[in-house]
Amino acid sequence: MRKASTLLGLGGLMLVALPGAARAQEATPATPATPVTTTAAAPAPARRLQVGVSFLPMAMGKFSAVYGGFTNTSDAAFAPGASVSVGYEVIEGLTLGLAPQAIFKVGPKEDPTMSGMPVYSGTEIDVMARVAYAYRLVDTIAIYVEALPGYSLILPSDGDASKGFVVAFGGGAAIDMSDRMFANLGAGYQLGYQSVTSEQGITTRLRPNYVRVALGVGWRF
């Protein structure tokens, strides 16, 4: 009898204790889950400075010389050239900079007077500003238009240099080769307004005009 009463007493204590333990578990607040932090990818650095080099084959041009009131115009000889450019993208798409260039064998293809005189040939040095606007068709290809006004010298093999205004217009496409490097192909037209005055006071005006092609590569920094 004593064993039975003891067992009954223990069972009662367990019945009382179990509800209390359950309530204690319900009252204990759940530990909040540790938040998972993610790090956003850093944006690519803006590279606004552009440096480029280009080969400039000048073809299909006209060369005019006005001397003593007479104008001689003939086809211009093929004139290879080269340029370097430095520009800064001031706002998206708009680049301002400098693009000096040198053009060789500037002159007529043949003697326009047909008198057997040697054909004039000189080296043209152009210090040009460059204003260009580019529009991206896709992430790696952009089309652009450009204007290049400047000042020019034509240095003949013998005699004084001709000086004057020069301007070029054109457009083309630039293709990204990597994050920094790009290649460009452009075409346009260039007009020169140079002149020279001799010691006798006679002014000779030269008008070398060319179809301008630019094949180049460049880098962004």
pTM: 0.77
> Tens digit of pLDDT for each residue in 66-123?
877 788 899 999 999 999 999 999 999 999 999 999 999 999 998 776 666 677 789 9
pLDDT at res. 209: 97
Q: How high is the mean pLDDT of the chain?
A: 84
Confidence of residue 7 (pLDDT cuts 50, 70, 90): very low
Q: Which two tokens stand for residue 199?
A: 């010691």
Q: Which two tokens stand for residue 4?
A: 């039975």
What CATH class is the domain 49-220?
mainly beta
Please tell me whether residue 119 adopts helix, strand or coil conformation.
coil
Please tell me whether residue 26 adopts helix, strand or coil conformation.
helix
> Tens digit of pLDDT for each residue in 149-183?
999 999 998 889 999 999 999 999 999 999 999 99
Is 3's pLDDT higher than 50?
Answer: no
Secondary structure of the chain: what % helix, strand, coil (to 5)?
10, 60, 30
74 vs 8, more confident:
74
Pairing mode of beta strands 162-176, 49-67: unpaired
pLDDT at res. 163: 97
Name beta bridge partners: 30.
none
* Residue ranges covered by each domain of the chain: 49-220
Q: Are 123 and 131 in contact (CB under 8 A)?
A: no
54-63: average pLDDT: 96
